[in-house]
A and B are shown apart, each in its own frame.
Chain A
Amino acid sequence: GESVGLHLPTLSVQEGDNSIINCAYSNSASDYFIWYKQESGKGPQFIIDIRSNMDKRQGQRVTVLLNKTVKHLSLQIAATQPGDSAVYFCAENIGSNFGNEKLTFGTGTRLTIIP
């Protein structure tokens, strides 16, 4: 079946360095992707999204890259701060043109920023 997975379960990065979190998806029909940040005891927080007709999108200190050829998604966080420590999930939506509203999440990557 379709799935969203992550290459690495944990990642430690020195404060101030850049971090890259990777995600693989298997459903070529997926047309919308979201990255969420989840801190302990809280719900997932929307970070950035990207549609399948784009290969890059930038936000504040974050960039999402989409490679449809290899079904790969990445989240780059620039100049990491202690507050960036959290679990990061990628999620995909198959048929997001209001035909299918379900998000499928991966397991998550725990990012730890080392002061």
Chain B
Amino acid sequence: DTGVSQNPRHKITKRGQNVTFRCDPISEHNRLYWYRQTLGQGPEFLTYFQNEAQLEKSRLLSDRFSAERPKGSFSTLEIQRTEQGDSAMYLCASSLTEEQYFGPGTRLTVT
């Protein structure tokens, strides 16, 4: 499968714990995006990388969130001191042009 992959697919954590998600984009895609999706809503943009440079961050991305793409390939999204409101599907997408291709997402449940 040469699509976008995300790990883990599901994560259950207790409030206050830190979590880290990984995204592996389509291999030749230089742009990588993180979105968050809550039940019944469309995805909301969080942040975007071109190669290793983080070029845009949403106001949704509080100080507890950090994203990296150290070698311009895979990316990680870390949430520190998780809160129940962080429960959502975290989606990663990649692109070479305007077409963004999404991975299956990581579903986070904060208890």
Chain A interface residues toward B at CB < 8 A: 4, 32, 34, 36, 41-46, 49, 89, 91, 93, 96, 100-108
Contact = CB atoms under 8 A, between A and B. Distances in A.
8 contacts: A43-B102, A46-B101, A46-B102, A91-B42, A93-B98, A101-B48, A106-B42, A107-B40
Contacts of A93: 98
B98 A105 contact: no
B91 to A, nearest CB: 5
Contact of B42 (A45, A101, A102, A107): A107
Contacts of B1: none
Interface residues of B, number: 27
Contacts of A106: 42
Contact of B104 (A43, A91, A102): A43
Interface string B40-71: 11111100101000011010000000000000
* Chain B CB within 10 Å, residue with most, of A96, A104, A105, A106: A105
Contacts of B100: 34, 46, 103
B4 interface: yes
Contacts of B55: 101
Contacts of A32: 98
Contact of A104 (B33, B45, B50, B105): B45
B4 to A, nearest CB: 7
Interface of B: 4, 6, 31, 33, 35, 40-45, 48, 50, 55-56, 58, 91, 93, 95, 98-105
A49 B42 contact: no
Given A41-B104, A100-B56, A105-B43, 9 more contacts: A36-B102, A42-B104, A89-B43, A96-B98, A101-B50, A102-B48, A102-B56, A103-B33, A105-B44
Contacts of A36: 102
